[in-house]
Structure 1
Amino acid sequence: MTILWGPMFFAGVLTGAPGYRYDPEKFGIIGTGNSSFVTIIRKDTPPSINSAKDLTKIKMVVTGGIRPGGILDMFQLLSFDALGIPYRHVTGYRGQPKMNAAIRAKEIQALTTGHPGYHAFYRDTILKDGTAIAPFYHSPFDPKTGEPVRLKGRYPANIKHFVDAYKDIKGTAPSGAAWEAYKWFASFETWSYFVVAPPGTPKEAIAALRKAHAKVPNDPGFQTEWKKQFRDIPVFLPGEKAALLTVKHKNVSPATLAYLKKTIAPVAK
């Protein structure tokens, strides 16, 4: 049996972007886990970026990404769009090592990385030596409250959640089309550690795999290795609840869908 581990790219599917020719709902959903993401910008980006509030001074910034509609690209673009920061986005970098090299070489000035990439490439290098700052991070939204899940202790105190950084920068709560799209994206795409089986996989096999997957976060060996690598606690969503995401992501407003299509353009249909 072939098992897939990774993100579902709901935005790519909904907008009809090339390469996303599948229906997430048809997979055998075993479970998923969430992650957080960190936006990073070089301090020598004109006129000079020393804090999140300086972002509003930017006249133009070159941002980098991996694929149109991908998680890292979209959090980068949605956050800057919501803040009204002008940018030129360069996508197509083949993974975080290439992104890391690009921001060091000044090919790009800003990027968004996942939590593993933050630790592996940036925390103890360009962030530690003062070459760059991380103005904010992104995390899931609580579906019951509509509020972001603030990850106390995961990042240094000066790296705030995007919502809180926005309030500091603008003096008001986020609003507008980009913000509505951001909320949808954060509600679904932050669950990026999906484990799925092919369509048609026997229900008995899915049930057994779900049972095993649900035990993983409580395994002492797994917890030790995870905490050693990421300095936090893994958050998993079990089978049936994870499967609901493949249905509920389709509840997107026409305005948000139009915004996502525009943002993923020019390759989206």
Structure 2
Amino acid sequence: MIGGAMGTINETDAGGGRLQGKVALITGGGRGIGRAIAEDFKSEGATVVVADLDEYESGWVATLLGGSFLNLDVRDETQFETVLARIMADHGRLDVLVNNAGISGVGATFDEIIAINLRGVFRGCSLGLPLIAESGGGAIVNIASIAGSHGGFGDGYTASKHAVLGITKEMALRGARRGVRVNAVCPGYIETDLTRVMRSNERALETLLKQVPLGRMARPIEVAKAVTWLASDDASYATGTSLVIDGGWAIDGGWALREANGYLRDKN
């Protein structure tokens, strides 16, 4: 998914939560990790603005969560500015930004991957950070990947996720004295559309999971919980860091990825 639609999800009426009273924008929020983040933010009391290019999926999520949507392509700076202006007009503030929109890179050129995975994150940070500062401070969470510190994921995807971690550090320095914390979450293998092909090949999946000490892929909500923590005041002293959610894969998972990919190539 690339970017998306903007929808407002009302604050919960329960006795508050870690994000009570905060306004949050989530790009790529129509499915997978993005949707899980949106749902968890809502459960924690936030007013959530969901952005996702897929109007069908986003519309369904909007109906489920009681929201409405406005299309956004994160490659388009003017659209991004329009979405942020709409948030400020409707809510008067922006407290949290989650740059989640991205693509796996399968079938895409290097430049296409960089335009979405890297420039989209940079655009969100550079445009959103001043508004969060203006609102009294808050947090930005960039969704990176274990590919941000490992190879073997393809040149475009690997380069884009390495760069996201670099941007996270630079933006953390930019926001530190303005009350804006900037961090990244690095998911490993998650049960989403992006891993469907891998999960459909029993031999490839078995090989891959041998190098995950916890022995399974994560559910999207397990990543979302980490994002919620970083977005909340519970993480008030965390900035410029990356939180790896990979079940221990990074300990020694590289060879397993190469072998699993070999099984997929043999099948095709």
Q: Please say whether Structure 1 and Structure 2 have the same fold, judged by a TM-score greater than 0.5.
A: no
Greater share of residues in helix: 2
Specify which structure has the bigger relative contact order, considering alpha-carbon pairs within 8 angstroms and separated by 6 or more residues: 1
TM-score in terms of structure 1 length? 0.29
